[in-house]
Chain A
């Protein structure tokens, strides 16, 4: 079945460091790919998405490129801030399904000043 695998956390960085959170997926067809962010004690917020190969999603300085050849959707940010500390979830929706999101296990990011 469809699945999403994220790098294990926690990831601890200093402010202004470069961030990469790896995400790979297994799916039939051409899924849509998402990154969601969850701040402490809150629900999930959509961070960015990409719906087809080579698309780049971007928001708030975060970027991720849909790489079909490597089945990856790695999240990057050039300079993280303390306020970016949160849990990041990679997810997919398979083409042709009922809109069910398949989530990765989440990666905790902690940014220290």
Chain B
């Protein structure tokens, strides 16, 4: 149980285009989802926290207009990187949790390459 999927697993796009990444909880209802960014050989940086039906809460330094997060249902959250640039190239990982349970379950990640 507690499986989280992400789609796509890899995406290559041209500079200036927008890219949408989906995060789904497959066998539980995710009341809260988190989006992380991971640079090579570094730890995970929390970008934002989203609760189902509410606006996402962004961490300091993360541009909310650039990284649009939608958590429209209890099983799906999306991250849209708008007008992507090469510096947005990274590994994006989502996680999900339910109710008052602390444990977060992570998706397999999406590798974004902006040319």
Contact = CB atoms under 8 A, between A and B. Distances in A.
A49 interface: yes
B97 A99 contact: yes
Interface stretch (A11-19, A20-28, A40-48, A69-77): A40-48
Contact of B106 (A45, A49, A108): A45
A43 B46 contact: no
Contacts of A106: 42-43
Interface string B4-37: 1010000000000000000000000000101000
Interface string A77-111: 00000000000010001000011110111101000
Contact of A42 (B34, B105, B108): B108
A62 interface: no
B93 interface: yes
B106 A36 contact: yes
Interface secondary structure of B, over-half rule = strand
Nearest to A49: B103
A43 B49 contact: no
B106 A99 contact: no
**Interface residue tally on A, bucketed by range:** 20 to 34
B6 A43 contact: yes
A51 interface: yes
B108 A105 contact: no
Nearest to A10: B41
Interface in A38-74: 41-46, 49, 51
B104 interface: yes
B109 A43 contact: yes
7 contacts: A42-B108, A42-B109, A43-B93, A46-B104, A46-B105, A99-B97, A105-B42
